[in-house]
Chain A
């Protein structure tokens, strides 16, 4: 195990975040505050409690998930795409590091950033609405699993993309709609029966539902199913990454 290499890449990636520290903290704080102004104060006051939880509190887990998904994707995809774009990836590919070590360090750094971000959002949200966390251990588990899974997905996108447009394509066209339609701002029980069934094909539903359960003990689907689906998604991403490195896809001609 080349621990020095893992540390070098991890620190390098984290340094990239520190350089843009203000924007990495200020932008999530501002966007979270905006969501609370709009959904919490303006609209939320007209929406009754959802399963015994005030609407403002209800959307906190979804809001965290939304940022976690998009930030994990963009951090991880940019982290690996940029060296490919500039050509500096040559150094990593020529170094005595295994593929596992490369993934662990890049994805680890991206997931770390997302987790820090999630924490910032949680703290910001706590300033607006009362929050309680009934299952803290599960909350952390879902948080970490989601951050890692979507960082892996981001890593895959960063390797697949051959232009900055493609880098934006998946987050914009797939993940953001799935996140918004995945019960981030509502319980899927509010939907007509047909759409409730359709929604079950959306993986984000399971992430949000499980995560919300860890907060308030309420969920759209059983937390165990949520956990199983999250793990399944994680495994799919791991399998794709393994395939990428075995074939050298887009990395080695």
Chain B
């Protein structure tokens, strides 16, 4: 299957010499939710802006749905909806007119029924005749999404969609994105909230200092890099780890109350059951055990640090 978006050796050096993108190669599959993770200033927005036609690339090539974004910009852009990071809206227009305007701008004939459905889906229907300047920040965010969806795009870019957004809107947005995916829309979201990527994405790309340092299925990524830790809280503190447990590579906490066993499913075949048996055999009583799995956040931090 051809990728929905193919980015090939894309670079961007801004006037003044700042290199925002080193050669970037990336393919986005049709119908997936792709999360682009990276710290502030990593190049996320620059990458999106080039694909959407807001920034000229210095070199390299991008196709969307097989159409080159420069030579065949009309067909490429008609497929794309963009929700920008900043709340950039008109002030005096009504919600209804703003959304209808966007649809026309993307070359689609007026379709009041569709606009109504989008506004209802985004809880904007009651506000349709309001001037945009009277909307709250969250409502403006919804409006930007409505505008981006007004021309029925096949690809939706959400640039930090949940920055400064309340819990309710965040949940609505996640639900909306899943609904779009069910209709075959490809969604690319940038975020530095790991939680969001973890919740939503099928695949995750990590960008740092203008380079894509990793692209992986979320599950694989979690599996591959996700370490598990078993903490055993002992009844009595331990001066040193008994020799019988020497080959388990346990870590003893300073107060001797806790033993920590770090493992991951790939490399260590010995299960935690064996360890607990070994502990009992060594005569150690424990009052509690708990396991933790490293989150995407830990993975992300360690990745970015590694490359820095």
Our pick among A15, A87, A91, A252 for the contact of B86 (Cβ within 8 Å) is A87
- Within the assembled complex, what's the spacing in Å between the Cα atoms of A86 and B54? 15
Is A93 in contact with chain B by the CB < 8 A criterion? Answer: yes
Q: Which residues of B are found within 8 Å of A94, using beta-carbon distances?
A: 52-54, 77, 80, 82
The reply to whether A90 and B54 form a contact with Cβ atoms under 8 Å apart is yes
Cβ of A245 to closest chain B Cβ, rounded Å? 12
Q: Which residues of B are found within 8 Å of A15, using beta-carbon distances?
A: 93, 97
The interface-forming segment of B102-110, B244-252, B294-302 is: B102-110
**Contact flags (1/0) for A94-123 with B, using CB distance below 8 Å?**
111110000000000000000000000000
Residue of B nearest to A88 (CB): B88
Residue of A nearest to B82 (CB): A94
> How many B residues have CB within 8 A of the partner chain?
35
Q: Which residues of A are found within 8 Å of B56, using beta-carbon distances?
A: 248, 252-253
Cβ of B77 to closest chain A Cβ, rounded Å? 4
Q: Which residues of B are found within 8 Å of A92, using beta-carbon distances?
A: 105
Is A243 in contact with chain B by the CB < 8 A criterion? Answer: no
The reply to whether B55 and A90 form a contact with Cβ atoms under 8 Å apart is no
Q: Which residues of B are found within 8 Å of A252, using beta-carbon distances?
A: 53-56
Is A7 in contact with chain B by the CB < 8 A criterion? Answer: yes
Our pick among A86, A90, A93, A248 for the contact of B90 (Cβ within 8 Å) is A86
- Within the assembled complex, what's the spacing in Å between the Cα atoms of A86 and B90? 8
Residue of A nearest to B20 (CB): A253
- Within the assembled complex, what's the spacing in Å between the Cα atoms of A229 and B109? 41
**Contact flags (1/0) for A5-40 with B, using CB distance below 8 Å?**
101110110011001000000000000000000000
The reply to whether B90 and A97 form a contact with Cβ atoms under 8 Å apart is no
Is B147 in contact with chain A by the CB < 8 A criterion? Answer: yes
The reply to whether A91 and B147 form a contact with Cβ atoms under 8 Å apart is yes
Q: Could you say which of B15, B53, B80, B89 has the most chain A C-beta atoms within 10 Å of its C-beta?
A: B53
Our pick among A7, A87, A95, A96 for the contact of B84 (Cβ within 8 Å) is A87
- Within the assembled complex, what's the spacing in Å between the Cα atoms of A93 and B14? 18
Q: Which residues of B are found within 8 Å of A253, using beta-carbon distances?
A: 14-15, 55-56
Q: Which residues of B are found within 8 Å of A16, using beta-carbon distances?
A: 92
Interface residues of A in 159-213 (CB under 8 A from B): none
The reply to whether A96 and B78 form a contact with Cβ atoms under 8 Å apart is yes
Q: Which residues of A are found within 8 Å of B105, using beta-carbon distances?
A: 4-5, 8-9, 91-92, 95, 97
Is B74 in contact with chain A by the CB < 8 A criterion? Answer: yes
Residue of A nearest to B102 (CB): A91
- Within the assembled complex, what's the spacing in Å between the Cα atoms of A96 and B70? 11
Our pick among A9, A88, A95 for the contact of B77 (Cβ within 8 Å) is A95
Q: Which residues of A are found within 8 Å of B84, using beta-carbon distances?
A: 87, 90
The reply to whether B54 and A8 form a contact with Cβ atoms under 8 Å apart is no
Residue of B nearest to A92 (CB): B105
- Within the assembled complex, what's the spacing in Å between the Cα atoms of A120 and B107? 34
- Within the assembled complex, what's the spacing in Å between the Cα atoms of A252 and B77? 16
Is B125 in contact with chain A by the CB < 8 A criterion? Answer: no
CB-CB under 8 A for A90 and B104, given A96-B77, A96-B78, A252-B54:
no
30 pairs, CB–CB < 8 Å, chain A vs chain B: A4-B103, A4-B104, A4-B107, A5-B105, A5-B107, A7-B104, A8-B103, A8-B104, A8-B105, A11-B104, A12-B97, A15-B93, A19-B92, A86-B90, A87-B84, A88-B89, A90-B82, A93-B53, A93-B54, A94-B52, A94-B77, A94-B80, A95-B105, A95-B106, A96-B75, A96-B77, A96-B78, A252-B53, A252-B56, A253-B56
Q: Which residues of B contact A (CB under 8 A)?
A: 14-15, 52-56, 73-78, 80, 82, 84, 86, 88-93, 97, 100-109, 147
